[in-house]
Amino acid sequence: MRAALIDTTGRLALTEHPEPTAQPGHQVIEVSSAGIGPTDLMRAKGFFGPIGAPYVPGSEGVGRLDNGQRVYFGHSKAPFGAIAERTLVAEEEIWPVPDDLPDDQLIALAISGTGALIPLEEAKIARGESVLILGATGPVGQIGAQIARLLGAGRVVAAARNRERLEAMQAAGHADAIAILGEGDDDAALKAVADGGFDVVLDIIYGPPAEAAMRATRPGARMMSIGVQAGPTVALTLRDLVFRSHVGVGTGQRPAGERRAAYGRLIDMAVTQGLTVDTRRHDFADATQAWAAQAGSPHGKIIISR
């Protein structure tokens, strides 16, 4: 079968790859679309450890089982992955999906969607509270801004470096105000739109922007951190933290049943309340270009379809 393959140097190329065969507790899936996310790029760069052998990348996708059932899948069994004609997946990571949502939305609402939903649910947003989405222009941020509103936020502020995409979020009604980061004083930029202080921060990027965000909160605030794109550490004083909480939230490490239930809630939001996310689609034959696009500008969800 044809598949994308990451070699030991981290480079991707389309090539022939052995077919997966059914194993106990796993099923073969005919892949229709695959998603590429930041984690896939980090793995190919050796962030999680040396690349010991060539493997097929792509951590999630949509396809069909032998009986024709349409499903979402994640966490293919190594060395198989989503960017291939077929893949092998553990049964607990195969979730039936409705026919009234397209592949790109089903993929975007899974890893990215649960990455936004779980921390915002755990923050227990009270009706009318002010929510800051830090690192808002990627898929997690786009979804998080909409979820915050659906969970009762009275005011949603989107902050990131990309002015154009932030303005698009505001024009779509997903954000009431925006803050441009990286143009000088992030503390001042966030405080200027804080309206007295944020109650909840969904922090997707960590590092210095998270420090500035915490200083723009009010007493009782909850910062929920889920990513490290802007740096793996923060430096906060005790004064910054008084009467505030800062939680590192893990989503992908949770049991499959918990993640599947969260995904079900997201699907319901998409079907009944219009939750959506921007995506960029590429043909399977253009997988190398899609990989480069995600590496160069990781704002929309990259989808590779056959």
Given 208, 227, 248, the domain boundary residue is 248
Residues 61 and 134 in one domain: no
Tens-level pLDDT at each residue, the chain (306 residues): 999 998 888 888 899 999 999 899 999 999 999 998 878 887 888 777 777 778 999 889 999 999 999 999 998 998 999 999 999 999 999 999 999 999 999 999 999 999 999 999 999 999 999 999 999 999 999 999 999 999 999 999 999 999 999 999 999 999 999 999 999 899 999 999 999 999 999 999 999 999 999 999 999 999 999 998 899 999 999 999 999 999 999 988 899 999 999 999 999 999 999 999 988 889 998 888 888 877 665 556 889 998
Residues 163 and 225 in one domain: yes
Residue 261, in any domain of the structure? no
Residue 262, in any domain of the structure? no
Residues 130 and 238 in one domain: yes
Task: Return the pLDDT at 98.
Answer: 94
Given 248, 263, 288, the domain boundary residue is 248
Residues 237 and 120 in one domain: yes
Given 248, 263, 296, the domain boundary residue is 248
Residues 69 and 120 in one domain: no
Residue 269, in any domain of the structure? no
What angle separates helix 256-273 from helix 139-150, to the nearest 10 degrees? 70
Task: Return the pLDDT at 287.
Answer: 87
Residue 88: CATH number of its domain:
3.90.180.10
Residue 35, in any domain of the structure? yes
Residues 126 and 208 in one domain: yes
Q: How far apart are CA 270 and CA 40, in angstroms?
A: 25
Task: Return the pLDDT at 45.
Answer: 82
| E runs forming strands in the chain | 2-6, 12-16, 26-36, 60-64, 70-74, 86-90, 94-96, 130-134, 155-160, 177-180, 198-203, 217-225, 245-248, 279-283, 301-305
Strands 94-96 and 86-90, sheet pairing: unpaired
Strands 70-74 and 60-64, sheet pairing: antiparallel
Task: Return the pLDDT at 298.
Answer: 53
Residues 122 and 226 in one domain: yes
Range of the domain at 215: 112-248
Residue 272, in any domain of the structure? no
Residue 260, in any domain of the structure? no
> What stretches of 123-162 show up as alpha helix (H) in DSSP?
139-150
Task: Return the pLDDT at 299.
Answer: 57
Residues 137 and 238 in one domain: yes
Residues 215 and 126 in one domain: yes
Residues 68 and 8 in one domain: yes
Q: How far apart are CA 88 and CA 20, in angstroms?
A: 6
Residues 188 and 138 in one domain: yes
Task: Return the pLDDT at 207.
Answer: 97
- Which H or E element spans position 207? helix 207-214
What angle separates helix 111-122 from helix 256-273, to the nearest 10 degrees? 90
Q: How far apart are CA 214 and CA 200, in angstroms?
A: 10
Task: Return the pLDDT at 297.
Answer: 57
Residue 242, in any domain of the structure? yes
What angle separates helix 139-150 from helix 111-122, to the nearest 10 degrees? 40
**Coil, helix or strand for 121?**
helix
Residue 132, in any domain of the structure? yes
Residues 77 and 171 in one domain: no
The domain tally of the chain equals 2
Residue reference for tokens 């092998």? 88
